[in-house]
Structure 1
Amino acid sequence: MANGSGRKGGTSSRKTSSTRRRQPARRRTPAARKKSPKLSTKSRAKKTTASSSARRKTSSPARRRTAARKKAGSAGFPLFRQTGRFFLRATTAAFFLLAAGLVTLLIYGRGLPPVGDLASARKEPRVEIHAANGEVIGIRGQDRGQPIDAADLPPHVVGAFLATEDRNFYHHVGVNPVAIIRALMVNVKAGDVEQGGSTITQQLVKNLLLTPEQSLHRKVQEMLLALKIEAMYSKDEILSFYLNAVYFGNGAYGLEAASRRYFDKRPEELSVGEAAVLAGLLKAPSRFAPTADENKAISRAKVVLAAMVDAGVITHAEAKAVSFTRLADIAETDHAAAYAADYALAEAARILGGVEQDLLIETTIDLPATRSSATAREVIAAKDDLYTPEVQAAAIVLDENGAIHVLIGGNDYRQSSFNRAVQAKRQPGSAFKPFIYLTALEEGFRPEDMINDKRIEIGDWAPKNYKDTYAGMVPLSEAMARSLNAAAIRLQEEVGRENVVEIANRLGLKIDDPGPSLALGTVEVTPLELATAYLPLSGGGVVAEPFIITRISAADGTELYHHEIERAPRLAVSPDVLVPFDHMMREVVTNGSGRRAKIAGHYAAGKTGTSQSSRDAWFAGYASGLVGVVWLGRDDDRPMGSGHRAMSGSHAPAEWWSSVMTASLDGVPAREPTPYAPEPRSDKLLSHLAAILGVRAPRERQGPPPANIEDIISGEAGPDASGYFE
């Protein structure tokens, strides 16, 4: 019973087993059929479904395993199906990325600059300016220096830049997404731009090909161009382009220019500390330049050294051994000839109609004389208490052909690049008086003729002499030598202001008649204009146009301009008139107000000048074929001292003029002046009486000279030309 019962129970528990043997169907008795109600088709379907569900719920583990195998069999190969799904997704993503890339190219890729010739891709022309001896006096535009090859540089030089600018340079494709994300996180956390995500390739694009505009459009273009450059050039080539293009401050573009500018070395000769200084400049060239703030430059260089240690470029011991003594000095580069370089560039632009390409400009500048002149000015300023730091200076020296040998436009170009020698319009004071005496000589006066130096009033105007002292009756030569105001005004009114203005214009000063104050130099002129007007006084009456450029060449050596000396010069003053005039001008230096302007071994002639209230102090003159003008004054036009303790042309300007001319005349043979011998005149007594009475005595007017020397030689100048040449 028990076993039977157990088997029956076991059979009952295994009714749903898939391994049970099918039992023969039991026949139902008629009574049973009668007892069981008939089900509709719908009811039978529900019952069948319920039975199936019950069987699934009560299925055994073996049945489930069998179902899994059937399912796996119907699925085929699962690895192939997974691979297919991955391939489908990857293809779809690639398609959309390609489509996005094409759209980006269409939107941002139009108008991109070419990247085929990065070696010549420059934003501004480079202009190199040479002195007469071939030495460089200035580089304007972008001084990129000579191109260098990164492969030739020492590892510590290359490592200094890679450690701070792009450590993964040799491992990315031009754009570094990791660096961009890292920089973004740092900047968001700091609330400021403290770190950049641009690669060296992107910086190269920014320096050479695009504008500095900060916009999404420009950033996308930068990335596109970086990718193009990486596909076209090797890493060493890209690094070389970068080091040749980046800005290091003080006008230096490129590593060679920076090495020369700051350390007077080739890039291959840079020490570890010097390389760190230059690499540190890239963050902020003007702020970290050693010439601007040496302490900031050293602090920044130490940051670079730490980065080099961290990147494995140098060891910690090597970094500690770096010394920053004699960090950098570019004082010699910014010497006084920088003003001449600026003027030469401006003249080149005028001659060529603009500067559109790299140029080499050869000038007339005497660099040794310019340097000596600048040094002499510093010496005079140090010992003259009236020469305060606010007082500026200018000097210019020309030869009789008009070539500019010295041009100094201020005390220190680094502090002020304003070129006072060619741009500052100032009152010449008594340096204008030679034009009055020259007019008188043309009108028939002679140096020994007398003029009355006494108080003079013209309307409401009553000018005074220096210290309000008067000399009475004096010869014209003495009146000019002592720079007597009353005598000069009286002579000007006697010969006629219109004639004074006319002869000044003839000599090159384009002025109008301001009234009687003209005799005191109340017109405004630049030092260059005054020197140009003095040129005929030294050069036998011949007018010459000042020039500073002898030759302009393109980068390939093609000559674009060559200066030609005028073959038929214009004669502005008769040489006969200049003989007594020269005598009077030499008297100023020998016995008059310009005694400090004497030049050892040369006959100097010139005139002091001091404007009202000592706002300007001048000395202008010539010696042995050179004309020089120096000026001192304040940019704000305030007086230089007051009363008897005021700056005048007879002191610091005359002394500086002597030094400037001495340096300029080095090696130039001394020129002997034509002697002047006073001649007895029958009308001398009449002249004296006329001067006393204030009446103009009749004189034989010599008049202006003929148009040019060739007309005199050919005889086409007419009878008025007689007597101009022996």
Structure 2
Amino acid sequence: MSQKPSTRKNAKSSSFTLFAKIIKFILITFIITAMVGGIYVTKIILTIAKEAPEVDVNKFLALSQPSIILDDQGNQMDILHSDEVRFPLKLEEMGDNIKNAFISIEDERFYKHEGVDYKRTIGVTLRDILGQFTGNRDMQGGSTLTQQIIKNTFLTREQKYERKIQEIYMALQAEELLTKDQILATYLNSVYLGGSANGVEAAARQYFNKSAKDLSVIEAAYIAGTTQSPSNYYAFSQSSMANPSKYINRTKLVLNAMLKNGKITELDHAAYMNQLDTEGIAFTRTKIVSDKYNFEYFTRPTIDQVRNDLKEKLGYTDEEINDLISYGGLVIHSTMDRDAQEYTIGVLNDFANIKAEYMHTSKDPAGNEIDTRTEAQAAFSAVDYRTGQVKVLVGGRNIDEPSTSNRAYYSPTFANSVLRQIGSTTKPLTVYGPALDTGAITLGTPAKDMQIDPKEDRPIASLYNTLNRKWPNNVNFRYTGFTTIRQAIVGSYNTVSARTLYTISGNQFEISKNYGKKFGLVLPENPVASNLALGSNVNDNKDGGNPLILATAYGAFGNSGVVTESILYTKVTDSSGNVILENIPKSEQVLRPQTAYLVYDVLKDIVAKNVPRARLTSMPLAGKTGTATNENNLPTDIWFAGVSPYYSASMWIGSDQRKPLLVPGSNNTVISFITQVAYGKIMAYLQEGLPVTNVTRPSGLITASFCKESGGIPNEQCYVAGTVASDLFVSGTQPTTICDVHTYEAPVIDPTAPTEPGNNGNGNGNGNGNGGN
């Protein structure tokens, strides 16, 4: 009897065999792919590793290369300490507490690995791969102490796999060349720990006014905890003082790590935790930076610009910037003219060039208030307005202390910035420049030098919210009636400035504010009339201007209406000479070339008629004086801003307390012309040896006559009345209609009228009665 074939069983067997073959094929393919991929990846890794810089033992142990700043001729002017200090110690001089705290929280297997902690590295890599899908990438936290030094000393701070591979490769090399104690000492002497402290000794002095070897466990744990984010855990920041829990919790985390690694007992750990909860951490704040730069007023603003550009252009964090300046050996190529800077400092320090005092209130040894006369402060800045390069920046006179107020510089990130009300130097920037540029006026527009009267000028008074008073006052409380725009600018008539601002079509304040901001003024969001028309401000150091801002703005009048951003450095190179920052200034056409020249031409009259000593050479100079006053109308700030064919520059005289400025030895207040002495000397020095030339006059300008009262083409009676003037106009804006204020009517003669006695009608009278000629 024959058996039936087991079709079902054979089918199952056949299916299993096929499945097994597929699995086998997949496994073999995976193995081959993994081998090929591994070889390929290994090749890539080796290629990247070979491109890594050589581990220079001397550079590794040197902790850092100081960054330096050069003048515009390439000569060193300052070594940058970046407000950070280090006091290197030998490892055995640091004490066990600080070493144990750092190793526990930063690299617990430091004495076991060979430069790389593979467990941590793999964990960080997996976390970063996952982050690529969640959008929260993070390659931080896996570096050993050796890797951190490698990163800070030899590599960039970019979070890329290429940099990480090189970092690992170089760390392995470093551990073959150096001992563990050498590496640990280098790290502890160089790590940035917040405030001004680089290294554990500097940190111990800064936070607790003691040496590192004398730190308690809690104190050492706090310092070690700051490494993750020195600015965030900085105990003396406003946020930390308001919320100490963030650094307290971080300190507890370090103590937990020390317990885990057997550096403290459970009993001690519990006691430390209780102490933190009940007492917190007792700090003794100590200032460890007292050094002053050779060129304080130029160097610190330059560092500020470099820091901002590293953050905005390259994406560096504050901690990375601190490290780069501290370790990176940067070379900053500044724009400073050393000779001119030093000459300006000398001119300003000489009181004979300032001649202004103020009453300063102080206390005698017994605590009684006494008034003493104090020499006024002064500041100056000069710019090559075509390149934007700042050549001179002096923020004060007779100052020996570091980090004082810089009265010539402003930046939101610069702690010692100064902004003041700029008085009438604002008028070309926020009034006459915009009014001419928008076509609201010409230099032939009638100018009414009279106060705005709420009864007669209600619309203007409403705009300025002065319906309850006449406004504004001229400096001498005199008013000339109808005049010219040129004379109003030269005479700095506040009345005409306010009336001219009103003539701008549209939202006058918004248009004026936009022009002012383009010129670089720092204006309040909702300015009022006095901000724009008269140059007042709301709050000192919050809005207004300073010598660098005004020098930058006035450069437009010599540069065809173009404002070029002022720069304090041209480039930054790293320790190997590679350019990491190149500073190319931005430029903006703020005024039409014709408008800029019209203003320039008027401003030349101010120099010639009001401040002739501001021009000590045959080089043309244009400029504007300015005076800001207090609530009692007494002068507190004296300004001059000017422009020549080569430089724009501005000078300020005043006091930090906004006290009235007095004539030396007198109670009389000073006048706005006192800046001309120092200003003239400095500008003459800057332009010494330069060919005498003039600002280029653009095409499209013509000269035409007009009547000062009507603005029309003069007629015969305008000449009789003495109201005819001539000035420059943009072609097409000159007067086109005859004056309608002055008219001439011929006398009507009656032919039948009797002959006057003594007049026979032959023209040979005796002269009685016609002698009016």
**TM-score in terms of structure 2 length:** 0.49
Matches within 5 A, 1:471-482: 471-482=480-491
Q: CA deviation at 1:464?
A: 1.4
Q: CA deviation at 1:622?
A: 0.8
Cα RMSD, aligned residues only: 5.3
Q: CA deviation at 1:201?
A: 5.1
Distance 1:685 1:334 in 2: 54
* Partner AA of 1:687 in structure 2: G
Q: CA deviation at 1:361?
A: 0.8
Structure 1 residue 455 and structure 2 residue 448: aligned? no
Judge conservation of contact 1:335–1:413 (CA < 8 Å) in 2. no
Structure 1 residue 395 and structure 2 residue 380: aligned? yes
Percent identity over the alignment is 22
Judge conservation of contact 1:397–1:405 (CA < 8 Å) in 2. yes
Indicate how the Cα distance of structure 1 residues 588 and 201 shifts in structure 2: closer, same or farther if over 3 A, else same: same
* Partner AA of 1:530 in structure 2: L
**Greater fraction helix:** 1
* Partner AA of 1:645 in structure 2: N
SS, match of residue 657 in structure 2: coil
* Partner AA of 1:456 in structure 2: I
Equivalence for 1:300: none
Deviations 1:617-660 (A, max 9, x none): 21111112311122233333343349983345421x33332233
Matches within 5 A, 1:98-497: 117=57, 119-120=59-60, 126-141=66-81, 200=90, 202-203=92-93, 333-334=294-295, 336-349=297-310, 350-354=312-316, 355=321, 356-357=323-324, 358=328, 359-380=330-351, 384-386=355-357, 389=374, 391-399=376-384, 400-411=386-397, 412=399, 414-420=401-407, 421-422=409-410, 423-435=417-429, 436-442=431-437, 443=439, 445-447=441-443, 449-457=445-453, 458=461, 459-461=467-469, 462-495=471-504, 497=508
Indicate how the Cα distance of structure 1 residues 673 and 570 shifts in structure 2: closer, same or farther if over 3 A, else same: closer
* Partner AA of 1:606 in structure 2: G
Distance 1:211 1:619 in 2: 57
Q: CA deviation at 1:609?
A: 1.1
Distance 2:629 2:84 in 1: 48
Q: CA deviation at 1:381?
A: 6.0
Q: Over alpha carbons, which structure has the higher Rg?
A: 1
Q: CA deviation at 1:137?
A: 2.4
Indicate how the Cα distance of structure 1 residues 418 and 675 shifts in structure 2: closer, same or farther if over 3 A, else same: same
Judge conservation of contact 1:126–1:143 (CA < 8 Å) in 2. no
Equivalence for 2:288: none
Structure 1 residue 515 and structure 2 residue 515: aligned? no
State which of 670, 679, 685 in structure 2 corresponds to 1:657: 679
Indicate how the Cα distance of structure 1 residues 544 and 141 shifts in structure 2: closer, same or farther if over 3 A, else same: same
Distance 2:198 2:331 in 1: 17
Judge conservation of contact 2:620–2:694 (CA < 8 Å) in 1. yes
SS, match of residue 673 in structure 2: coil
Q: CA deviation at 1:678?
A: 7.2
Judge conservation of contact 1:339–1:409 (CA < 8 Å) in 2. no
Q: Please identify, of 463-472 and 680-689, the stretch whose mean Cα deviation from structure 2 is larger.
A: 680-689
Judge conservation of contact 1:534–1:627 (CA < 8 Å) in 2. yes
Indicate how the Cα distance of structure 1 residues 675 and 352 shifts in structure 2: closer, same or farther if over 3 A, else same: closer
State which of 563, 571, 577 in structure 2 corresponds to 1:543: 563
Structure 1 residue 601 and structure 2 residue 622: aligned? no
Indicate how the Cα distance of structure 1 residues 554 and 684 shifts in structure 2: closer, same or farther if over 3 A, else same: same
* Partner AA of 2:668 in structure 1: R
Distance 1:700 1:624 in 2: 22
Where structure 2 has 5 or more consecutive residues not aligned to the other structure, the ranges are 1-54, 113-145, 147-175, 200-211, 213-290, 359-372, 411-416, 454-460, 462-466, 538-542, 722-727, 734-773
Equivalence for 2:641: 620
Structure 1 residue 671 and structure 2 residue 690: aligned? no
Judge conservation of contact 2:639–2:652 (CA < 8 Å) in 1. yes
Distance 1:679 1:365 in 2: 41
Distance 2:401 2:59 in 1: 31
Equivalence for 1:559: 579
Where structure 1 has 5 or more consecutive residues not aligned to the other structure, the ranges are 1-114, 146-160, 166-198, 255-281, 283-329, 693-698, 705-726
Judge conservation of contact 1:395–1:628 (CA < 8 Å) in 2. yes
Equivalence for 1:35: none
Distance 1:623 1:437 in 2: 20
Judge conservation of contact 1:339–1:408 (CA < 8 Å) in 2. no
Judge conservation of contact 1:395–1:631 (CA < 8 Å) in 2. yes
Q: CA deviation at 1:438?
A: 2.0
Indicate how the Cα distance of structure 1 residues 253 and 482 shifts in structure 2: closer, same or farther if over 3 A, else same: same
Equivalence for 1:259: none
* Partner AA of 1:492 in structure 2: L
Judge conservation of contact 1:142–1:253 (CA < 8 Å) in 2. no
* Partner AA of 1:501 in structure 2: K
Distance 2:177 2:706 in 1: 94
Q: CA deviation at 1:686?
A: 2.5
Equivalence for 2:596: 578
Deviations 1:665-709 (A, max 9, x none): 2343333245799733467663279999xxxxxx999999xxxxx
Indicate how the Cα distance of structure 1 residues 445 and 634 shifts in structure 2: closer, same or farther if over 3 A, else same: same
Structure 1 residue 646 and structure 2 residue 669: aligned? yes
Indicate how the Cα distance of structure 1 residues 639 and 674 shifts in structure 2: closer, same or farther if over 3 A, else same: same
Distance 1:506 1:532 in 2: 11
Distance 1:638 1:409 in 2: 18
Judge conservation of contact 1:428–1:611 (CA < 8 Å) in 2. yes
Distance 2:178 2:602 in 1: 73
Indicate how the Cα distance of structure 1 residues 519 and 444 shifts in structure 2: closer, same or farther if over 3 A, else same: closer
Judge conservation of contact 2:343–2:682 (CA < 8 Å) in 1. yes
Distance 1:392 1:430 in 2: 20
Which consecutive aligned stretches of 4+ in structure 1 deviate over 6 angstroms post-superposition? 122-125, 142-145, 210-218, 231-234, 251-254, 675-678, 688-692, 699-704
Indicate how the Cα distance of structure 1 residues 572 and 333 shifts in structure 2: closer, same or farther if over 3 A, else same: closer
Indicate how the Cα distance of structure 1 residues 352 and 381 shifts in structure 2: closer, same or farther if over 3 A, else same: farther
Distance 2:582 2:707 in 1: 53
Deviations 1:191-246 (A, max 9, x none): xxxxxxxx85534899xxx979999999xx9xx99xxx9x9989xx99x999x999
SS, match of residue 588 in structure 1: helix
* Partner AA of 2:405 in structure 1: F
Q: CA deviation at 1:450?
A: 3.9
Indicate how the Cα distance of structure 1 residues 136 and 486 shifts in structure 2: closer, same or farther if over 3 A, else same: same
SS, match of residue 543 in structure 1: strand
